[in-house]
Amino acid sequence: MTCLRAAEPDGDSWRVRRDVKEGILRAFRLGVDVDLPAPPFAYRDRDMLLPRGGTPVGVRVIPGGTAIRRGAFVAPRVVLTGSSVLYDLVREREIRATEGEPLTVPERTVVVPGARPAPGAGAPGRPRSLSAAVIVEYRDARKDARTALEEALRPGLDSAQAPGSVRT
């Protein structure tokens, strides 16, 4: 499959490909709205720009809310929206959407459901917590090799096909 990008790395920043950007805008203008079921949820999007690879079972898709970069693995029960905060435990940072840019899950990350302390006093002796999306790992070639070996030794247990998971 040929990959066509709307923006390309250019040193320490990104350079927009205006021809690709114009093609995407034309696709939005020319396409028609279609219903895209993702049980138990559903959403609508333009028919010319459907999600790559379809929507895995148990994944709720919120268009315009997030961008999941290639090679990232998002585990079942992780919720990502445009207002979510992604907690990166590996690099000790918080990732948020910015003005005009969606929340972006970095390439080759592993994102799992977690929890963070809730603000406020709560009940004495009963601290509250909120669910959170957490980056626990950045995959490298060695990790990919270990994962491939495990999948070869345990056929039928492909984690990429686990209900509710997303692997790009």
5-33 tens-digit pLDDT: 788 888 888 888 889 888 888 887 888 87
16 occurs within a structural domain: no
Domain coverage including residue 111? 54-167
107 occurs within a structural domain: yes
- pLDDT tens digits along 60-88: 555 556 777 777 778 777 878 778 889 99
Burial (CB < 10 A; 0-12, 13-18, 19+), residue 74, is buried
90 occurs within a structural domain: yes
Split at pLDDT 50, 70, 90, the class of 56 is: low
Asked if the model's pLDDT at residue 111 lies above 50, the reply is yes
Q: How confident is the model over 138-167, as a mean pLDDT?
A: 65
Q: How confident is the model over 108-114, as a mean pLDDT?
A: 90
28 occurs within a structural domain: no
142 occurs within a structural domain: yes
101 occurs within a structural domain: yes
22 occurs within a structural domain: no
Contacts of 33 (CB under 8 A, 6+ apart): 44, 45, 46, 47
Q: Say how many domains are in the chain.
A: 1
14 occurs within a structural domain: no
